[in-house]
Structure 1
């Protein structure tokens, strides 16, 4: 068997896997994934149909497996098994606790279809991989909170929740969740808040109660990153001149605080931000490297920084 047919066999097998894992698969997406022409994908789908696989759909609209059709258990390569082990270690450290039991059950099902030799591979290697995370996990007061939130997104149903803000004020909110994301060791939801008539993000560990309603979403939403990039909150433009020697220490935080532009000059790196946290969050972050930075604008940030330094100094006299 020549190389051409081997590549086709691998590709056809991979297309079958895609059909098993997704409700609809478009030929254009498959062509992009496997770096072949759309016409080649059409021929591959025809090969599967000729082999007796009941594929529903047609070119241009997308393909799916006939409802109720069952395939034999999927077999995994050695490389795929090793990737599962590594992913499981990551999940143990960073997965939200409300998803933990579900993930563990899913992994047990994956292990159950492995060949005996692959099970031995897991046993021999899993204790040789570890992920070191120095941040403590947050504790939630609600069981299965993330699954509840994800169900509301899938069903397009509003949620009612009691939420505790950073200053310990408690309010009741009706929200339509756009998505869930993990950042700086916390889980957040991005949602449209009916009370504020605007998009807001909420930290999951500050939700005290939550329940699904029968009320449908009032509008359609795009992808979560669209709303994180284009938040409707009031933003302030900030320009800093930062010493080049500490730039590498800001790699993980500068984008979080709204970095929009970075220009290298003779005197340092000029950084421009658009931030919603000009009163508290941004000044407190800036103070961690203030001896290597100069505020170019706004002047009010310089005042806030000085006030914060005086406050800190007064507590440690």
Structure 2
């Protein structure tokens, strides 16, 4: 890294953190502490308001901001693909902001980088993961929950969930403290502390109705980190399926989330899955038609026979 690039990188590092020691900067940029001292002096002489506190480190004067002035083609592509994703999968408010952000990013690019980025973007296309765009109800709930997260307020809603092995739905009213939003398999999920269950629960936004933001405030516990959060695995029902050789590759490419193991052999491919209940697996199994045989449990074989008989009766 040359000196000019290192000076800019130092400013950006100080901008992103409160205080950094010369030793930290030297280790990061693989140079000597003496070189960092000279860099800090050069930045100060250039008018960058760096505050040095003996025994503590360096920081930028509050309110000073230096926007990135150069993007590589790869960096610009990364940011622009991100705005494309937000446009497709977020609510209207974020969609509009993504358009504005993209225009601002493009303005900062040199003509060469802008032209090359435009060329590469035309060769890339983001497709939804096999599901239709979010319903208007889901988008509306996403917007409300996003604002509640920003305001640090609880929300209340009616929630609908199917009974296992039944066509009936169970409805309940929930008051929750929203901890975060997660995009899973094309659908939005809310991770929240549920006052009713006194524990963290997950809710599909598409199943929420009459959602309102409350005046009651909350604080996310310091120990909770959405990026590190892993829900308790309660998928204890083991299912074994055998697929014919001609569709084995398609099954592997489907990336079905409940698959635990796959083993190919001359007769095809055996797939082991773990699920909470058979109903969440049944549509996927039926979608493979005669190309799949349920080996276990016997209750799944019974369910497939029942559905096949119902289909036969309809025709």
TM-score over 0.5 for the alignment? yes
The equivalent residue for 1:97 is 92
1:74 aligns with 2:64: no
Change (3 A) 1:277 1:254: farther
The equivalent residue for 1:261 is 261
Distance in 1 between residues matched to 2:114 and 2:177, nearest whole Å: 46
Pick from 109, 113, 121 the counterpart of residue 115 of structure 2.
121
The equivalent residue for 2:133 is 137
1:158 aligns with 2:149: no
Which secondary structure state, in structure 2, belongs to the residue aligned with residue 221 of structure 1? coil
Distance in 2 between residues matched to 1:184 and 1:69, nearest whole Å: 41
Contact residue 175 and residue 192 of structure 1 kept, 8 A: yes
Change (3 A) 1:176 1:267: farther
The equivalent residue for 1:271 is 271
The equivalent residue for 1:214 is 216
Distance in 2 between residues matched to 1:57 and 1:237, nearest whole Å: 61
Change (3 A) 1:292 1:186: same
Q: Kindly provide the CA deviation profile for residues 157-186 of structure 1, in whole angstroms up to 9, marking residues without a partner as x.
A: 432223344666653212233432223332
Deviation at 1:282, TM superposition (A): 0.5
RMSD: 4.2
The equivalent residue for 1:49 is 40
Change (3 A) 1:193 1:277: farther
Tell me the TM-score normalized by structure 1: 0.71
Distance in 2 between residues matched to 1:155 and 1:310, nearest whole Å: 53
Pick from 140, 146, 149 the counterpart of residue 142 of structure 2.
146
1:291 aligns with 2:290: yes
The equivalent residue for 2:30 is 40
Q: Following superposition of structure 1 onto structure 2, how do residues 6-25 of structure 1 map, counting pairs within 5 Å? A: 6=2, 9-10=4-5, 13-20=8-15, 22-23=16-17
Change (3 A) 1:235 1:119: same
The equivalent residue for 1:205 is 206
Contact residue 181 and residue 188 of structure 2 kept, 8 A: yes
Which secondary structure state, in structure 2, belongs to the residue aligned with residue 312 of structure 1? helix
Change (3 A) 1:290 1:107: same
Distance in 2 between residues matched to 1:213 and 1:296, nearest whole Å: 53
Which secondary structure state, in structure 1, belongs to the residue aligned with residue 134 of structure 2? coil
Change (3 A) 1:295 1:38: same
| Stretches of structure 1 lacking an aligned partner (at least 5 in a row) | none
The equivalent residue for 2:226 is 223
Q: Kindly provide the CA deviation profile for residues 188-221 of structure 1, in whole angstroms up to 9, marking residues without a partner as x.
A: 2233333234443322233332315433258542
The equivalent residue for 2:195 is 194
Distance in 2 between residues matched to 1:150 and 1:47, nearest whole Å: 45
The equivalent residue for 2:308 is 309
Distance in 2 between residues matched to 1:179 and 1:113, nearest whole Å: 32
Distance in 2 between residues matched to 1:186 and 1:62, nearest whole Å: 45
Deviation at 1:312, TM superposition (A): 1.9
Tell me the TM-score normalized by structure 2: 0.71
